[in-house]
Amino acid sequence: MNRALCEKMIEACIQAELDVLDGKSTTFEGRTLTLENLSDIRKARQEWETKLAVFQRGKRPQYALARFT
């Protein structure tokens, strides 16, 4: 998995959302999705956006230093 794949999947999710909102069904990840699956499409987009954010942070942990006493 890389940044380009994340961006491509986010674009695919957005297109699927638009298709569903226009009343079309769309095939995404091997499944045919229609209006009742809009929440699944949005969930998938959020997951890919989270993965992309990890790449944009440079895969660094949130905390650079931890001190234990």
Structural domain total, the chain: 1
47 assigned to some structural domain = yes
63 assigned to some structural domain = no
13 assigned to some structural domain = yes
How do the pLDDT tens digits run along the chain, 69 residues long? 788 999 999 999 999 888 878 877 777 778 887 656 788 989 999 999 999 998 888 765 555 666 777
- pTM of the predicted structure, to 2 decimals: 0.65
24 assigned to some structural domain = yes
Q: What pLDDT, on the 0 to 100 scale, is given for residue 14?
A: 93
- Taking alpha carbons only, the member of 13, 36, 41, 14 closest to residue 23 is 36
52 assigned to some structural domain = yes
31 assigned to some structural domain = yes
Q: What pLDDT, on the 0 to 100 scale, is given for residue 28?
A: 76
User: What's the domain range around 7?
Assistant: 3-56
